[in-house]
A and B are shown apart, each in its own frame.
Chain A
Amino acid sequence: MANSFSSSSSSSSLSMKFDFDEKPHVLAVDDNLIDRKVIERLFINSTCKVTTAENAKRALEYLGLADGQHPNHNDLKVNLIITDYSMPGMTGYELLKRIKESPTLKEIPVVVVSSENIPTRINQCMQGGAQEFLLKPLQLSDATKLRCHIEKLNNPLQGGVAREDERA
């Protein structure tokens, strides 16, 4: 089976709390090739490692959540999952639910993105446990903001006090 994931990373002198090997790892799920490339670059430029998947099924396989798989999460380190909503087969919402139902993966923040601003869709995703719902096209400021959030999740005691982030 052809590997439809791709991972890339680059070193950067702007890396803050993470060492090169500890850069936050983002899993980006989108069926649109151009969007995958742009999202990948957005997060690499925000000093993250990125793995892309072209649909929810591949994402679940990567996460070890596919049917018949035995999750082995010792090696898996994903700090953020960002998924398109409208995808053939399984939607981003359905992917979100599967992740949130997993005892081992439910803590990973999942951000849903969509080109369509539909309030019922947004509510559905937020009710389903999404960290955030963002409109496409994504911009560098979105990636930077999300990276800061991952940072806080990984270093909750930085600055002395653990704080809840405000929801958008």
Chain B
Amino acid sequence: GGGAGLCGHSLARAPRRYYEYIFGQSWPQRSPRPLGARAGPELLELQVVIESADPGCQSFPHLDSSEAYHLTVAEPVAVLKADEVWGALRGLETFSQLVHEDDYGSFLVNESEVEDFPRFAHRGILLDTSRHYLPLKSILTNLDAMAFNKFNVFHWHIVDDQSFPYQSIFFPELSDKGAYSYNHIYTPADVHLVIEYARLRGIRVIPEFDTPGHTESWGKGQKDLLTPCYSGEEPTGSFGPVNPILNTTYEFMTKFFKEISSVFPDTYIHLGGDEVNFDCWKSNPEVREFVKKQGLGTDYAKLESYYVQKILDIVSSYNKGYIVWQEVFDNKAQLKPDTVVQVWIENNYAYELSSVTAAGLTAILAAPWYLDYISYGQDWKKYYSVEPLNFPGSEKQKKLLIGGEACLWGEFVDATNLTPRLWPRASAVGERLWSSKNVTNLQDAYQRLTDHRCRML
């Protein structure tokens, strides 16, 4: 088993970090302790024990990691037991929330026994670094906030139409030409830092390289990648989605995803596949010709699937699993059984969850949790009240819903407003994804959320 220390070096920082969280901030003492007041029983130590033979300290968290823990707080030693280090991290967070200060500045913790584990294994936050670049500091601060709320997936929507901040090793022109500026990029060192910072908090980093739509910025540094749009016989000068009919496209993707697969250690890569506008493809005579030749009829969804299929095969060849937005499923691409489908369209999302899981595919839910859609007042309540399994389906189907994500799209978000916009609203989602189905009382949640918010500050 793990025994003393927390997996030696790699996760030794966690106890130190939590020590500072718990004791580092001391509010000014309000009044001196009256003479003769009883000191009471003391807690001298929190012991952390990791039980399994392979505690997972040197490795990365993954979908099947155990995050369960058992925390016993009693005099004089509290014990935190977990199968894997990931559970220990969750337990440390809980322990830090149990410790509180009295009016005299003493730290107190109640005798407690906590047996805890997450309801859903995939509990994510999506950040968008293409609509607005987010400096490293913002991303790291957000990872801290995620850890306070037991989130375990950072879905990094790293590039999109507006900008390409990811500095690629094989294709440096992509960010050279596609980023907002040289100051608005993520170097390989930056990316590595994010991955490691996340790992130390038990957070998986799943990058999203969304294609074939949402790729305008890719075209700046990669000639002939995007489809030239036409007006009649003439190219208009503007470009559409990735060009699905050229071999060069797939040569590029093969090499590009080889890099991505090695840079990002998580088993999964998010491949996007949402909101593909067919107009540009339809306008292009070569694409039209291709569609005819391939017998795809007039249904351009079939062309989209043709493209997606090939990308999925490329990524599979690198032994990666993939997550796709729901359109890929809706448009009937042939998906491997272990594909994860992310449901994001609000209209009828319960029905979509039924369809996806009925087809035997794994699903994650984002639709009711688009936190970029701000509104006045306590909108955390509506996020909290979502019951992910409220869709028609068998027990077997329900098991295929592995979790969800709170999304903070970047159209109106940058480092100046990210933190207050995302938190503590996302905490409501965090609890919904971790806690039992019956933890639904809004008044009770309100009390705990207000305390938690002050703690996070």
Task: Please indicate whether A and B come from the same complex rather than being unrelated chains.
Answer: no
